[in-house]
Amino acid sequence: MFIIGELINGMYKNVREAIAKKDESVIMNLAKEQENSGASALDVNCGPLSKVPVEDMKWLVLTIQKASKLPLAIDSTKPEVIRQALEITKNKAIINSTSADEERLEIYVDMALKYNASLIALTMDKKGVPQDKDARLELAAGIVAFAQAKNFDINNLYLDPIVLPVNVAQPQLKLLLEVLHEFKIISEPAPKTIVGLSNVSQGTCQRSIINRVFLTMAAAHGLDAAIADPLDKDLMDAVITAELLLNKNIYCDSFLTAYRKK
Amino acid sequence: MFIIGELINGMYKNVREAIAKKDESVIMNLAKEQENSGASALDVNCGPLSKVPVEDMKWLVLTIQKASKLPLAIDSTKPEVIRQALEITKNKAIINSTSADEERLEIYVDMALKYNASLIALTMDKKGVPQDKDARLELAAGIVAFAQAKNFDINNLYLDPIVLPVNVAQPQLKLLLEVLHEFKIISEPAPKTIVGLSNVSQGTCQRSIINRVFLTMAAAHGLDAAIADPLDKDLMDAVITAELLLNKNIYCDSFLTAYRKK
């Protein structure tokens, strides 16, 4: 499982304050801690409150790159923020994210091609998040077709079916698990699948167990990647065990430590 | 998830000793503890070392029935042990188990009909446990066809794909998850699916996490029932959370306690 560490995000107070004070050590430590806990990549988001998002995002990227060589998921709703961050990203880059709207796909697929970045695409459009499986699948097929037409390598495309919180959209989650399979048969090679995991437990009182049980079930349905908290040891242990049971790593008695990516 | 508590089994020393001393309190406590921890039924097995299995099994059944009204899974390889136990079982009964061999099906389907019992059927035969999905499916289809021909209610049939330990048959587990879906489309109404969970972690150093991650993944693949240890609180919490995410119980903040069967 490709875990993108979610902790460098300006919605968290420690990150917001580090950005304000240009305190590199906080950000570098967050990068290192997540890498040491098994993250395969790091999300980078300056947060919705940033007044100068281009400047803040560039500072975050430069700071993280002093501490880690992991791929960076440049996370913003603003194309210009992402573009300017990609200009200075030396690590492998992931664009987080485009929607299925054609005008956004046009911008982001071109950008991903130009900067040799992977691309996360949400199966939603201007009308919002679809309520059923078929509508998500239709948007997914549209995204893949668009990317193929641009000769974008589908191996570098991550489809995100959009996980909603269990306490507000409970019936959707079973459909999401099913749609993870169906995304894989849209094309050959198949697109990768990703979820923004923590959203599933937003607003609940039992966040950690909800996160890890949902991630385990999604792993059983072929999920490739998740944006999640790699410092949640129980979560990472569950992922490692799921991958063992799915025969992705060979069994050994010490598998929990042996397969923690370092 | 229908959890059949596995702890009343003569392969455990405390049970073996209780049988030898006819110490009812040990057995009654095991029955109550498992029921209070969320078991939906109780497995009853006098163990492979019993010299007088009919007598031991009957004593276990009579003793458990003093403590619990849960269904009893009468667990033996000997038809006569099961038959005599069913004679005195007042709780709902489950026969554990038949294989796919026709001569065993003949005995056990008739017995299940006579005693109004459910029936667990292992998808294995004299040749052993099949190594691939198709062979398991073929045996499953044969079991269902046999039961249908006898007018046995398929709602009361539990197909067990036979879980093997991850440290000896690791590649099989992913196939088992897939076959759980396929068992469900053999007939209408569909047979139920069951696993002997603890087998997956037999001989490993991390039994609890392997058990609960595999059960979570199997739940995500529609598993109906498991023979497992209901006193493993982490396991039961994982099952309850999985069922919540699969929309089987309505979300509430206290779901972990609210949906613990008591």
Domain ranges of chain A: 2-200+222-228
The class (CATH top level) of A2-200+222-228 is: alpha beta
Mutation pick from B201, B217, B236, B249 vs chain A, by most beta carbons of A within 10 Å, is B217
Q: Give A260's pLDDT tier (boundaries 50, 70, 90).
A: confident
Handedness of CA B184, B224, B135, B171 (dihedral sign): positive
Report the C-alpha gap between A130 and A126 in whole angstroms: 10
DSSP annotation of A219: H
Is the Cβ pair A220, B247 closer than 8 Å?
no
Instruction: Calculate mean pLDDT across residues A110-130.
Output: 97
Digit-coded pLDDT (tens) for A179-213: 999 999 999 999 999 999 999 999 999 999 999 99
Is the Cβ pair A210, B241 closer than 8 Å?
yes
Write the DSSP string, chain B: -EEEE---BTTSHHHHHHHHHT-HHHHHHHHHHHHHTT-SEEEEB--TT-SSHHHHHHHHHHHHHTT--S-EEEE-S-HHHHHHHHHH--S-EEEEEE-S-HHHHHHHHHHHHHTT-EEEEES-BTTBS-SSHHHHHHHHHHHHHHHHHTT--GGGEEEE-----TTT-TTHHHHHHHHHHHHHTSSSSPPEEEEEGGGGGTT-S-HHHHHHHHHHHHHHTT--EEEE-TT-HHHHHHHHHHHHHTTSS---TTHHHHTS--
Which residue is closest to A250 within chain B, CA to CA? Answer: B170
The pLDDT profile of chain B, 262 residues, written as one tens digit per residue, is: 999 999 999 999 999 999 999 999 999 999 999 999 999 999 999 999 999 999 999 999 999 999 999 999 999 999 999 999 999 999 999 999 999 999 999 999 999 999 999 999 999 999 999 988 999 999 999 999 999 999 999 999 999 999 999 999 999 999 999 999 999 999 999 999 999 999 999 999 999 999 999 999 999 999 999 999 999 999 999 999 999 999 999 999 999 988 886 5
- Tell me which residue has tokens 């495309």: A157
Q: What are the angstrom distances between the C-alpha of A25 and each of A29, A33, A43, A186, A252?
A: 6, 12, 17, 43, 37
Looking at residue A258, its pLDDT comes to: 87
Is the Cβ pair A219, B217 closer than 8 Å?
yes
Is the Cβ pair A217, B242 closer than 8 Å?
yes
Closest CA to B43 of B20, B14, B68: B68
Looking at residue B66, its pLDDT comes to: 98
Chain B residue numbers touching A177 (CB-CB < 8 A): 220
Closest CA to A11 of A44, A41, A48: A48
Chain A residue numbers touching B204 (CB-CB < 8 A): 251, 253
Digit-coded pLDDT (tens) for A204-244: 999 999 999 999 999 999 999 999 999 999 999 999 999 99
Q: Give, for A232, the enclosing helix (H) or strand (E).
A: none
**pTM for this prediction:** 0.95
Looking at residue B124, its pLDDT comes to: 97
Angle subtended by helix axes A53-65 and A24-36, to nearest 10 = 60
How many residue pairs bridge chain A and chain B with CB atoms within 8 Å of each other? 103
DSSP annotation of A74: E
Q: Does the interface predicted TM-score (ipTM) exceed 0.95?
A: no
Chain B: closest CA distance from residue A74 (Å): 30
